[in-house]
Structure 1
C-alpha cells in the first residue's frame, strides 16, 4: 500500500504482486479500510492500478471507511487519466459483483467536476439521476441540485471581458470522445461524415494552425466544451426527472430551480421551464415567491431577462403575483438587496453606480407593473416610498463617493488649467520687443505648442466646470440614474484629454528650447511624458469604463433569445 503511492515504487509493486494471491490484493488497511487500489487511485498511479485490477477485478467494488470505491477516490483527487481507466474496467466487470448496478453515485462525478463523464453516465443509465449519495446532506440529494451548486461551470457564471467573449464566440468546440460513450458526438475539427465541404476543411485547417501558433486557444476550446457538457447534463437530468410522477418531479425540481434563479444561471432556469412549464407558476419559495421574484430579490438580471421570452399577456400576470407578505415584483425591486451583495458591488464600482443599478431595476420592473407604482401596501407605503426609505443610506454613500471623486478631479483639473494658462502667456523663446509677437511663432513646433496648450486650457476648464456642477448638484435619487454619471464621465474624459494636451505642450516647449542643439533630448522627453498619461489612464480607466457601460452602454435588460417559453 505504501509502494503504490508513487510511480517510483512500481518495480517493487510488480514483483510483490507476483508473490500475492488475488485475496491478498483485496486486504484493507487498518486505518481507513482502504485497499491498495484506493491508494493507487489517490496517487494517480495508473500503472500500479492496472496490475491490481488484473490481479483481482473485485477490488474495483470494495469500499473504504468513507464508503467510496477506488473510482470515487480517483474522482475526488482529480486523477483524470486514472478516472478514465477505472471507469472503463468498471463497466467491463460490472456484472462480477454488482448484479448490473453501477457502484458509483453520479454526484461523485459532479462533485469532482468531471462533467463530461457524468454526461456519459446519464446517457447510459437514466435512473442514476435520482440516486441520492450517502455522503451528501439532504439538500444535495439531487444530482441536478449539485450541478447548480457549481455556477462557474456554466457560461453565465464565467465572467469574460470583451476580447475574451469575442474569442469564445468564434473558437470551435472540442468534445472529447470516450470509449464508453454510447452516443459519440464527434467534434467540429474531426467530423465523422465521409463528405466534408471545402469550406469546412479550410475552417478546420485554419483553427488547427491557429491552435499551433496560439496554444491558449486550447483553453477556450476546453472551456466552451465544458459549458456545453454541463448544459447537456442538466437537460438529461431534467428529462429523467420528468419521468417521475408529477408530485415527485415538482419536489425534485423545486430547490434546483430556486437555487439557479438566486445565483443567476439562466440556462438552467430556461431548461427547467422548457421541461416543466408549470414550474413558472407553481414552484415557489417558502416565502411564496416565484422564480422571477427570486431573481429580482437577488438582482440577477440574466434570469429576469427570461421574462422577455414570454408572451406579452403572460408577463404582467406573472410579475403581478404577490408573495405571502403581499409584496409584488415592484415592491421587491423597491427594497434594497442583501447587505453582502451591496458591500461587494459598492466597493467594486462605487456606491453611486450601485444606486444607479438599483434605479435601473426599479424602472424596468415598473414597466411591467399593472399598478404603475400607485398601489398602497398595508403599511400605507407605495413602492416608490419604499424605494426612498430603503435606499436612504445608499444615497448618502453615493453622494459622499461621487463628491470625493469630483473633489479630487477638480484639484487636478485646476492645476492643469493654471499651468497651461501660465505657459500661454510666457511662451518659449520670448516675444519680440518691437512687435510683441513670439519670436518662434513661424516654427512648426511652436504651432503645435500653441494648439496643444489651448486645447489643454479649454478641456481642463470644462472639466473644472463639470466637476463643480457635480459638487453643487441636489443629489436627488433620480440624478443617480443619468445626470450625475454622465457629468462624471464627461469630466473624466475632458480631464484625461487635458492631461495629454498638457504633456504635448510641455514636450514641444523642451524641443523649442533645447532641440536644435541637443536633438537627442526628444527621445527621453517623449518617453517620460507618456508616464503620467499612462498612469492616469491605468488608474482611472476602469472607473470610466464602468461608468460608460452602466450609463451609455446597452441595457442590462432585454430579450436574449427568440424562443417563446410561455
Structure 2
C-alpha cells in the first residue's frame, strides 16, 4: 500500500461507515488503489459497506471487483455471514420502528443471498442463516411487539368508525315517509353525499379492521416482515385514512341538511372544523405510511440516480489483494 493509500485510509474508511458515497467516489477517482484499504480489524471497504449497511457506497463499488463474493475475514465469515450480523445501532436508528428495521435487514440479506455461500460455515460452524437468526432474535421480538401495538391502536380507531357510521346508516337524517319508508330528503344533493360517504366509510373501515386483525393473528416469522406484514399495514392505513375522511364528509352533509338550509353562514365553520380530525390523523399516521411505502416498494440497490454523477469509471476493474 503506497503513501497515497495511507493518506486516504482513515478518510475512506470513515466515509464508508457513514455512507458518504461522494467522498468514496472522489477518493477512488484520485487513487484507485485506495480500494484495498482496510481497517484495524482487517475489513476492506466492501465488507465495511455491508457491515454498516451503507447501501449508497455498496451500489457505488460492488461492481468494481469480480471476486468480492468470495471475500472472507479472519474467522472465515463471508459477506453473507457479515450481513447476518445485526447492524450497528446508529444505522438502525435511521429507520423508524423495529419492524421496519428488521425489514431493512432482511432486504440486505436478500440482496447478498448467494446460493454458493449459504451453506458455508465459519470458524464457529455457523451458516449465514444461523448467524442471522441468532443476531436478530431480539429485533424480531421487538418488531413483533411494534407491529402488534400499531395494529391494535389502528384497529380500535377502525372499530369506532364502523360503529359510528353503521349507526348513522340506519338512522336516516330527516326521517322517512310513514307509508313507504322512503327517506324524506332523498332528492337533496346533500343527502346523496351523505349516503355515498357513509357507505364508503363503512366499507373501508371494515376492510381496515380486517387487515389490522390479520396482522394480530399472523405467525410473525422472519420472512413475514419483508413484504407481507408491511403491505397489510400500508393498505390498512390507506383504508383508515379514507374511512375517516368519508365519515367526516358524511357528518358534514348531515349538518348541512339539518342546519344550513336556513343558516348558510354555518357552512364555512363546519368545513373548517371538519378539516381538524382529518389533519390530526394524517399528521400522526402519514409519516409512518410514507416510511412503510418507501421501505417496502422503493429499491435501494441497483441503478440509482445519484450514481450517474459519480466519477468512477465502471469499465475499470480493480482486483483486491
Given candidates 73, 78, 82, the residue that maps to 1:332 is: 82
Determine the C-alpha separation between the residues in 2 that align with 1:329 and 1:271. 25
Given candidates 299, 324, 334, the residue that maps to 2:53 is: 299
Given candidates 215, 221, 226, the residue that maps to 1:481 is: 226
Pair 262,319 (structure 1): closer, same or farther in 2 beyond 3 Å: farther
Deviation at 1:461, TM superposition (A): 0.2
Q: Which of 380-389 and 480-489 deviates more? A: 380-389
Q: Report if the CA contact (8 A) 1:250-1:279 is conserved.
A: yes
Alignment of 1:446-461 (within 5 A): 446-461=191-206
Determine the C-alpha separation between the residues in 1 that align with 2:176 and 2:12. 78
1:391 aligns with: 136
Alignment of 1:245-284 (within 5 A): 247-280=2-35, 282-284=36-38
Determine the C-alpha separation between the residues in 1 that align with 2:264 and 2:16. 65
Q: 1:417 aligned to 2:162?
A: yes
Deviation at 1:340, TM superposition (A): 4.2
Q: Report if the CA contact (8 A) 1:319-1:328 is conserved.
A: yes
2:101 aligns with: 354
Per-residue displacement from partner, 1:381-430 (whole Å, max 9, x unpaired)?
A: 21011101110000100110110010000000000011001000001001
Determine the C-alpha separation between the residues in 2 that align with 1:408 and 1:398. 15
Per-residue displacement from partner, 1:22-74 (whole Å, max 9, x unpaired)?
A: xxxxxxxxxxxxxxxxxxxxxxxxxxxxxxxxxxxxxxxxxxxxxxxxxxxxx
1:445 aligns with: 190
Determine the C-alpha separation between the residues in 2 that align with 1:552 and 1:284. 34
Pair 338,372 (structure 1): closer, same or farther in 2 beyond 3 Å: same
Q: How many residues align?
A: 310
Deviation at 1:269, TM superposition (A): 1.5
Q: Report if the CA contact (8 A) 2:205-2:239 is conserved.
A: yes
Per-residue displacement from partner, 1:355-376 (whole Å, max 9, x unpaired)?
A: 000001111122xx46241212
Per-residue displacement from partner, 1:513-543 (whole Å, max 9, x unpaired)?
A: 1121222221111110110001111111111
Q: Report if the CA contact (8 A) 1:292-1:319 is conserved.
A: no
Structure of greater relative contact order (alpha carbons < 8 Å, 6+ residues apart): 2
1:557 aligns with: 301
Q: Report if the CA contact (8 A) 1:306-1:559 is conserved.
A: no
Pair 319,262 (structure 1): closer, same or farther in 2 beyond 3 Å: farther
Q: Report if the CA contact (8 A) 1:452-1:501 is conserved.
A: yes
Q: 1:543 aligned to 2:252?
A: no
Determine the C-alpha separation between the residues in 2 that align with 1:507 and 1:260. 55
Deviation at 1:276, TM superposition (A): 2.8
Structure 2 SS opposite 1:376: coil
Give the TM-score, by structure 1 length.
0.53
Deviation at 1:510, TM superposition (A): 0.8
Determine the C-alpha separation between the residues in 2 that align with 1:501 and 1:260. 49
Structure 1 SS opposite 2:87: coil
* RMSD value, Cα: 1.6
Q: 1:515 aligned to 2:260?
A: yes
Given candidates 170, 173, 176, the residue that maps to 1:431 is: 176
What 5-or-longer segments of structure 1 have no aligned partner?
1-245
Structure 2 SS opposite 1:287: coil
Deviation at 1:378, TM superposition (A): 2.5
Give the TM-score, by structure 2 length.
0.92
Deviation at 1:263, TM superposition (A): 1.4
Q: Report if the CA contact (8 A) 1:284-1:290 is conserved.
A: yes
Moved over 4 A (4+): none
Q: 1:364 aligned to 2:111?
A: yes
Larger-gyration structure (1/2): 1
Pair 334,421 (structure 1): closer, same or farther in 2 beyond 3 Å: same
Determine the C-alpha separation between the residues in 1 that align with 2:258 and 2:281. 27
Q: Report if the CA contact (8 A) 2:197-2:246 is conserved.
A: yes
Determine the C-alpha separation between the residues in 2 that align with 1:520 and 1:420. 26
What 5-or-longer segments of structure 2 have no aligned partner?
none
Determine the C-alpha separation between the residues in 1 that align with 2:191 and 2:4. 79
Alignment of 1:199-238 (within 5 A): none
Deviation at 1:431, TM superposition (A): 1.0
